[in-house]
Homo-oligomer: A and B are copies of this chain.
Amino acid sequence: VADVQEIIRAANRFAVPLWPISRGENLGYGGARSFRDASLILDLSRLNRIIEVNVPDAFCLVEPGVSFLQMFDYLERHDLPLWLSVPGYGAGSIIGNALERGVSSSPYGDHAAQICGLELILGDGELVRTGMGAMPHSGMWQRQQATIGPRYDEIFLQSNYGVVTKMGLWLMRAPEASAAIEIEIAERDSLGAVIECLAALKRLGVIQDSPAIASYLTSAALCSAKSDWMTGKGALDQNAETLLLRTLGLGWWNVKVRLYGLPDMVSLCLRQVEQELARLPGCSFHISRWQKGAPISSAHRGVPSIDGAGNVRWLGENGAHIDFSVAIPVSGAEALKHARWMIRELAACGLDYHSAFYLRDRHILNVVQLIFDQADEEMCQTVDVLYRRLINDVAMRGYGINRSPLDYRADVAATFSFGGNAIGNLAQRLKRALDPGSILSPGKDGLS
């Protein structure tokens, strides 16, 4: 930490911008790339200590280099009854992922919301501990988000105000039992009915997960390439789609719902879910149960893996992706409208629909991966134009954008225009106050 402080002070002295990365694996949103070529990458991946894991209170304190794979290993090796919320790509940093608002479908899948206390270095080298970490003798740093006075943790999300060197993060306690329900929905246009069904179960408190309703391509792209199903340009056509669905035995939408609790509670909730699913047209499902003491598989809890990144090979060795992440209201009709619109927009550019809807309490987060051939210059150009248009269109539709690749942060910022871009001015005031030399990740927030 003292070394990082020294580097930041030196960067200020020589006016050299720094681009801090945890492990540089923010795939789909920029990776390790800096926004300006003149920046030095400040690679924190060797700060990789797991400082504490507490079982009764279910939290950890980690450094930026700790990956999901490393933490999972640690929990396994010590046989600790804590479950990790795991995003699509397991080699990434736990800290980096939480700061960049990574998600999973677990009850702890809003990773930023699990942050409890930071240690960080401001742009001029000042070391700060937030929350109860500011009390030198405190035993509460990772136990209590509420401090006295303002809580600062969340201004360091997706920001360029400081370099986080330690983070407290809440983990899920292993339940006594769980059930995993793997659901297939045959028809594309049943999306609305699925959403309404699962949303009702969430409102009743039956489902604690934020289940992901994923288009068939999110599975198909992991085990096959587009060229297996179709030759020529353009989006996957109807024949290819039919062949693929039949061959791989997938639903158009595929959902995994997990239930947690005491065995009897899980049984009761499972009965509710089964009842509701039975009413859905074209729906089939498979149930597996688990109970404490039994061997456990990835059906029941998140297991980090690097396989998820393989889906770019859908377009061969030059496949790449940028992700479009937007929140929409909890409404089946709205979700179906959004899906149809996105499918049409992507198809018009020759792109396929790799999409997942994460159903949360008060909104649905839709993440669409735009997979393109990076060797195909025309396609790159098309994707670029499309992405900018999508930003403006969803803003007009009243949806909420919460992540974007670096190159589009300025476009997104322009849609946050209330009060003459008041939020941008607020961001700039804080930037000047916390990083007066504008040394940290200039351009990252689309402003400074």
Which A residues are closer than 8 A to B by beta carbons? 56-59, 101, 110, 112-113, 116, 122, 126-130, 132-140, 142-159, 161, 170, 173, 175-176, 203-206, 260-262, 264-265, 268-269, 272, 327-330, 362-363, 395-404, 409, 412-413, 415-419, 422-423, 425-427, 429-430, 432-434, 445-446
Contact = CB atoms under 8 A, between A and B. Distances in A.
A329 B132 CA distance: 12
Contact of A130 (B161, B327, B423): B423
Copies in the complex: 2
Given A149-B159, A150-B158, A143 B362 contact: yes
Given A126-B419, A140-B329, A418-B136, A154 B151 contact: yes
The 7 closest A-B pairs by CB, nearest first: A140-B400, A139-B398, A433-B433, A134-B423, A151-B154, A134-B416, A150-B155
Contacts of A203: 56, 173
A137 B396 contact: yes
Contacts of A173: 203
Contacts of A129: 418-419, 422-423
A257 to B, nearest CB: 16
B422 A128 contact: yes
Given A268-B265, A422-B127, A423-B128, A138 B398 contact: yes
22 contacts: A57-B330, A58-B362, A59-B362, A110-B146, A116-B362, A128-B419, A134-B416, A134-B423, A136-B418, A138-B399, A140-B327, A140-B363, A142-B362, A143-B327, A146-B402, A148-B404, A149-B159, A205-B260, A262-B268, A265-B265, A265-B269, A433-B433
A208 B327 CA distance: 27
A149 B430 CA distance: 12
Contacts of A363: 57, 140, 143-144
A387 B15 CA distance: 48
A138 B425 CA distance: 19
A161 B429 CA distance: 12
Contacts of A126: 419, 422, 425-426
A112 B113 CA distance: 13
Contacts of A128: 418-419, 422-423, 425-426
Nearest to A395: B135
Contact of A144 (B122, B151, B362): B362
Contacts of A149: 157-159, 413, 427, 445-446
A85 to B, nearest CB: 15
A300 B266 CA distance: 25
A175 B333 CA distance: 25
Contact of A399 (B140, B396, B430): B140
A448 to B, nearest CB: 11
B148 A416 contact: yes
A57 to B, nearest CB: 5
A429 B387 CA distance: 37
Contacts of A130: 423
A181 to B, nearest CB: 17
Nearest to A446: B149
Nearest to A445: B149
Contact of A418 (B110, B135, B413, B433): B135
Given A110-B146, A327-B144, A362 B265 contact: no
A275 to B, nearest CB: 11
A363 B415 CA distance: 40
Nearest to A331: B56
B157 A151 contact: yes
